[in-house]
Amino acid sequence: MTFPILILAAPTGAGKTSLITELDPTRFEILSFDSRQIYREMPIGTAAPTKEQQSKIRHHLVEVLSPKESIDAGLYNRMAEEALQKVLNTDKIPVFTAGTGFYLKAFLFGMFPVPEISVSVRERVLSMSIEEKKVLLNDLDPEALDKIFSGDDYRLGRALEVNLMGEKWSRLKIDPNTSAIYKYNLEIRLGIFLDLDRKELYERINLRAKRMIDLGMADEAWEIRERYGESCPGLKSLGYNFALENKKETPM
């Protein structure tokens, strides 16, 4: 027996959340693959679905981790498997949503067999700036540095962690046996990518950023910093570094 699934992917600001809430909650449930919205206590900067939106249709993997907790593909996969099983048990159709698609791709099609990362290595990498990561990664695995977008702090960190554990990140191959499609006999019935005009998308992103600032993203970032420290994983999310700098420069 195969289980049908739907996929909805879209860049930040394209209107994915609004579209999701129009789905029939008696037929569908949402599995979110967003590395920012998985954190709680940060609804402004992560643009997490509001309580009202979540009440319209059930969301999984949204606001479940503390900002002090790290997230990686392995942990995301384990959490996603639990959520998927819950949805399948209800006989509803899972709708997978994603922005960049990194975690979703790893879940559906298989993961790289990365070594277990020690606490000391993870803490060392977390304490490094993005430029420090690039320098060290260039020494250990220049091919990895060439394959990763220069501003992707998360993937640079993950590649560096793997190398510091003695494996070459650039030589890892996907293990198809870890694929959820294979393990759960899933069938992609429909895949949608919201592709907006670039100018319109940038205008929407700018408006969204302004709205986040107006809603108090800088204060939200400061509160997280006070609770969990400036180097906590949650604050690695895009935009929080600028929000913190803005707060530091603003008279208290």
> Would you list which residues are annotated within the binding site?
10-17
User: Could you tell me the two tokens for 42?
Assistant: 């940060």
Annotated binding-site members for substrate: 12-17
Residue ranges at the known binding site for ATP: 10-17
Task: List the structure tokens of 93.
Answer: 């159709």
d(CA 77, CA 112): 12
Per the structure block, which two tokens stand in for 138?
């260039």
Q: For residue 21, with 0-12 CB atoms within 10 Å meaning exposed, 13-18 middle and 19 or more buried, which class applies? A: middle
Helices of type H across the chain: 16-20, 43-46, 51-56, 73-89, 102-109, 119-126, 130-140, 142-147, 153-164, 180-184, 198-215, 217-228, 240-249
With beta carbons less than 8 A apart as the criterion, state whether 63 and 38 touch.
yes
